[in-house]
Structure 1
Amino acid sequence: MPFQPDQHPRGANPANRGQFGAVVHSESAARLTPDAQVQIDPHETSAEPWQQAFRGGTAEDRKLSSVDVSLPPRIADFNPSVPPALAAEAEEAIRVITTLDATHGEHLAPLSTLLLRAESVASSKIEHVEATLDDYARALHGSRANASASSMVASTRALDDLIHSVTGGGDIHLDAILRAHRTLMADDPNEQPYAGRVRDMQNWIGGSDHAPRMALYVPPPPQTVPGYLEDLTRFANRDDLGVIVQAAVAHAQFESIHPFTDGNGRIGRALINTILRRRATTHHVVVPIASALVARRETYFDVLGAYRDGDAGPIIHSLAEASTIAADESRTSARRLATMPEEWTEAAGRPRRTSATARLIGQLLDEPVFSADEAELHIGGATSSVYTAIERLHGAGVIRPLTARTRNQVWVAASLADELDDLGHRIAARAR
């Protein structure tokens, strides 16, 4: 039975964060041939007493007195037996990722920012959080007019926080996961009471909003979650496993535990890149894996279902494939970023190197979204020359405005924003 993404509740009960809708169950996509299977203990079930905390729903919802919860296996000491072909696919993904991380030295700072944003945008879209890139850029600069864009920005900050918690080889700690969740949910009015907190209630995915009746999946009961998370972090901090295998299993296990009332998918996918960073597979970049996963959303949920049924092979294969595609297309973006300053200089009529226009061009890769005041702070010089430089770059099509106002305008480097959009489309096209 496939996983469904988190969403805000339609009813009063905060425990149901699953989207209920039509799902395509793709047996061929999730069930690999026997020589690509990775056996793991299937999830067990247990009947637990149930009583509504928030009265509502149908008579059947109110009368429900028992629920079958899922009990994932403990994985701290799990030693997966990975078939050679699947192991080779996972190793190829690592090779492509490390090549990306190591071969674009002078462009890694702007590239890492671009890829961090690409991953956060795509991970949000898996949860049906949709916003245009211009809305996202506005939210990145402090505008809260678009709630979905603000949620994407929060996802970016949460992912960045979690990855930086292990930069240099540190372990993954529950405190860091909780901080990332707090960052993700801090501005969500429905979730503020639960932000940064492991759930203390039974949640479920799909079915009724008022009781776990006809639910698609019921995670383990709340009293078991701390133990499961301790077991998960022990697994995630091991150094004796293939990196892709470890990241895939840890992600699937996190989604099965579903430790939060909302935001599980985004934090669980952030865990993938966090493991890549902790294992020194990456040092600078965030691989936009979610861009490939969102292109095949039903398959993604289905491979998580296969994991619960006792086969980790599909999620390992899916992650290896998504990582390879994402890293490969990111190298194309890196090459395009390398040419942008010269293209901007040409479009602006080759200004003098000491001019405000040239200095502003020199800042665009690192600060692609900016206001006039910020431009003045970064490049210095007279205010009038900064405004003249902005007008010149706007006229040349190098930057575009993000708001309709005439005062305190926010600008974005047009081709860089377009590249972020194009990267997601290219990854999705190859994934499909």
Structure 2
Amino acid sequence: MTEERGDLLPELVVGRETHRWDREPDHSASRRQQLSARGPYEASVPAAIAEADLRISSSLQAEAEDAVREITRFDAEGVAIADRRAAREGGAAAAELAPLASVLLRTESASSSEIEGVTAGARALALAAIDAKTGPNAQLVTANVTAMQRAVALADDIDVDTILAAHAALLDRHVYAAPGRLRDQQVWLGSNALSPHTASFVPPHHTRVPAALDDLIAFVHRADLPVLVQVAIAHAQFETIHPFDDGNGRVGRTLVHAMLRHSGVTRTLIIPVSAGLLTDTSAYFHALTDYREGYVETIVRQFVNASFRALDNGRRLVEELELIHDRWSESLPSRRGSAARRLLPHLLSQPAINVTYVESATGVALSAAQRAVEQLEGAGILERTSGGRRNRVWIAPEVIAALDAFAERVGRRG
């Protein structure tokens, strides 16, 4: 036992079983690599956790419960901000909360994607959201937003179909990944591994995946565990099962938010937990390895620490966006209730717009939408990204800078 790893739980150690390997060797590989990719291989056999006795130190449980209280408080703070703004602007609290919820959802989706090496800046993500021309990474992160929304929307009754729906949203139109379907072949992890023989981790044989997921869902619905402990272990078990050809990490982190919503810890906002994990990805991946060796406290501690980091960084982002909104409100000469003023909260979550977006967001006619954009541009709130008359796009540079600063504070080590 070490302070970081906690007690070994032998019943949770991942087992091994041997399988035949019948695929033809990769003839573009060296002779040594071809020889290493022959013969039987070993795949993992995940432990059943539905009724497992999970012993976590009292001190770590206390930290996890502290983190949950802070997450709930952050969620409530978002509602309070929306209430204050609604009272000040004369709008509806739900409408004022939506942009904050949206921006936190997008930052979490971006961080979750970056853990997998899929990186896109705030400007590219904002452009992708209005179907402006962007690269494939921005489109993948945008799909991750949809996947997270799908999982949270189904959080009242988390089941295998919830997970399949999130995967289908994440990798829609990516045929190679069989979106929305469990894998029907062996997969393995390791960037240089040509076969499971030399992989760093070999998930279970595909025939074991359905039963393993059923066991996981039974665990998700237990009511005898501290919430964040349960979330961390469920996530690690999902990553161990690795039920899809691709997208496992991102879907596994959507499960985190579905569980937080299901338990009532969050009601309105997405907490940027992945941003906390992204700060030290080596420690996160090491914790997953520890979990498979029967040490569960490492992954729980990762989630506890990630939650506190996420809350600190999330609060800073919210405060910066509030200051930006206040400056805009003071500098914009438009009357209260005008389309230009009604657009301001939307710019916090969608800092790239076109006239079509303004029409949709505010419900005004084309001429009024154009006038609103002109007023915001005249006030220095928006900048035009191109000089052409067709397909014009404007950005809110202050918001882009705040979102980029959030990403820079997260950083990535390992």
Q: TM-score, normalised by structure 2?
A: 0.87
* 1:70-109 alignment, distance < 5 Å: 70-105=44-79, 106=82, 108-109=97-98
Cα shift at 1:111: 1.7
The residue number in structure 2 matching 1:141 is: 130
Task: Tell me the amino acid that sits aligned with residue 308 of structure 1.
Answer: R
Task: Tell me the amino acid that sits aligned with residue 375 of structure 1.
Answer: V
1:297-348: CA deviations, max 9, x gaps?
Answer: 1111111111111101110000011011212322233333333332112333
1:265-324: CA deviations, max 9, x gaps?
Answer: 100111111111111100011111111211211111111111111101110000011011
Task: Tell me the amino acid that sits aligned with residue 250 of structure 1.
Answer: A
* 1:24-43 alignment, distance < 5 Å: 32-33=2-3, 36-37=6-7, 39=9, 41-43=12-14
1:347-371: CA deviations, max 9, x gaps?
Answer: 33x3332544334335534654432
1:406 match: secondary structure: coil
Is the aligned partner of 1:115 residue 2:101? no
Out of 252-261 and 207-216, give the one that drifted further. 207-216
The residue number in structure 2 matching 1:225 is: 209
Any gaps of 5 or more consecutive residues in structure 2? 83-95
Looking at structure 2, the residues matched to 45 and 130 of structure 1 have their Cα atoms a distance apart, in angstroms, of 35
Cα shift at 1:257: 0.8
The residue number in structure 2 matching 1:284 is: 268
Cα shift at 1:231: 0.5
Is the aligned partner of 1:165 residue 2:159? no
The residue number in structure 1 matching 2:341 is: 358
Looking at structure 2, the residues matched to 333 and 267 of structure 1 have their Cα atoms a distance apart, in angstroms, of 25
Larger fraction in helix: 2
Does structure 2 retain, via aligned residues, the 8 Å contact 1:32–1:313? no
Could you tell me the percent identity over the aligned residues?
A: 34
Does structure 1 retain, via aligned residues, the 8 Å contact 2:331–2:379? yes
1:50 match: secondary structure: coil
Looking at structure 1, the residues matched to 5 and 238 of structure 2 have their Cα atoms a distance apart, in angstroms, of 26
Does structure 1 retain, via aligned residues, the 8 Å contact 2:105–2:269? yes
The residue number in structure 1 matching 2:225 is: 241
Looking at structure 2, the residues matched to 112 and 354 of structure 1 have their Cα atoms a distance apart, in angstroms, of 22
Looking at structure 2, the residues matched to 292 and 35 of structure 1 have their Cα atoms a distance apart, in angstroms, of 19
Q: 1:362 to 1:52 in 2, by over 3 A?
A: closer
| Aligned with residue 68 of structure 1, among 42, 60, 64 | 42
Looking at structure 2, the residues matched to 245 and 390 of structure 1 have their Cα atoms a distance apart, in angstroms, of 47
Q: 1:245 to 1:354 in 2, by over 3 A?
A: closer
The residue number in structure 2 matching 1:257 is: 241
Looking at structure 2, the residues matched to 403 and 141 of structure 1 have their Cα atoms a distance apart, in angstroms, of 15
Looking at structure 2, the residues matched to 403 and 77 of structure 1 have their Cα atoms a distance apart, in angstroms, of 59
The residue number in structure 2 matching 1:212 is: 196
* 1:333-344 alignment, distance < 5 Å: 333-344=317-328
Does structure 2 retain, via aligned residues, the 8 Å contact 1:356–1:389? yes
Looking at structure 2, the residues matched to 395 and 115 of structure 1 have their Cα atoms a distance apart, in angstroms, of 28
- When the two chains are superposed, the root-mean-square deviation of aligned CA atoms in Å is 2.6
Cα shift at 1:182: 1.0
Out of 385-394 and 78-87, give the one that drifted further. 385-394
Does structure 2 retain, via aligned residues, the 8 Å contact 1:397–1:414? no
Task: Tell me the amino acid that sits aligned with residue 278 of structure 2.
Answer: V
Out of 391-400 and 259-268, give the one that drifted further. 391-400
Out of 136-145 and 120-129, give the one that drifted further. 136-145
Cα shift at 1:216: 0.8
Does structure 2 retain, via aligned residues, the 8 Å contact 1:345–1:351? no
Task: Tell me the amino acid that sits aligned with residue 411 of structure 1.
Answer: W
Looking at structure 2, the residues matched to 246 and 383 of structure 1 have their Cα atoms a distance apart, in angstroms, of 50
Out of 136-145 and 241-250, give the one that drifted further. 136-145
Task: Tell me the amino acid that sits aligned with residue 81 of structure 1.
Answer: R
Q: 1:405 to 1:119 in 2, by over 3 A?
A: farther
Is the aligned partner of 1:154 residue 2:143? yes
1:213 match: secondary structure: helix
Q: TM-score, normalised by structure 1?
A: 0.84
Q: 1:418 to 1:207 in 2, by over 3 A?
A: closer
If asked which structure has higher relative contact order (CA below 8 Å, sep 6+), I would say: 1
Does structure 1 retain, via aligned residues, the 8 Å contact 2:100–2:349? no
Cα shift at 1:85: 1.2
The residue number in structure 2 matching 1:176 is: 162
Q: 1:427 to 1:225 in 2, by over 3 A?
A: same
Looking at structure 2, the residues matched to 142 and 264 of structure 1 have their Cα atoms a distance apart, in angstroms, of 26
Structure 1 segments, 4+ long, off by >6 Å, are none
Cα shift at 1:32: 4.4
Does structure 2 retain, via aligned residues, the 8 Å contact 1:57–1:210? no
Task: Tell me the amino acid that sits aligned with residue 97 of structure 1.
Answer: I
Does structure 2 retain, via aligned residues, the 8 Å contact 1:306–1:314? yes
Looking at structure 2, the residues matched to 45 and 88 of structure 1 have their Cα atoms a distance apart, in angstroms, of 34
Cα shift at 1:226: 0.5
Is the aligned partner of 1:389 residue 2:372? yes
Looking at structure 1, the residues matched to 123 and 276 of structure 2 have their Cα atoms a distance apart, in angstroms, of 22
Q: 1:33 to 1:128 in 2, by over 3 A?
A: same
Looking at structure 1, the residues matched to 383 and 24 of structure 2 have their Cα atoms a distance apart, in angstroms, of 51
Looking at structure 2, the residues matched to 368 and 145 of structure 1 have their Cα atoms a distance apart, in angstroms, of 15
Cα shift at 1:393: 1.8
1:221-241: CA deviations, max 9, x gaps?
Answer: 010010101001110121211
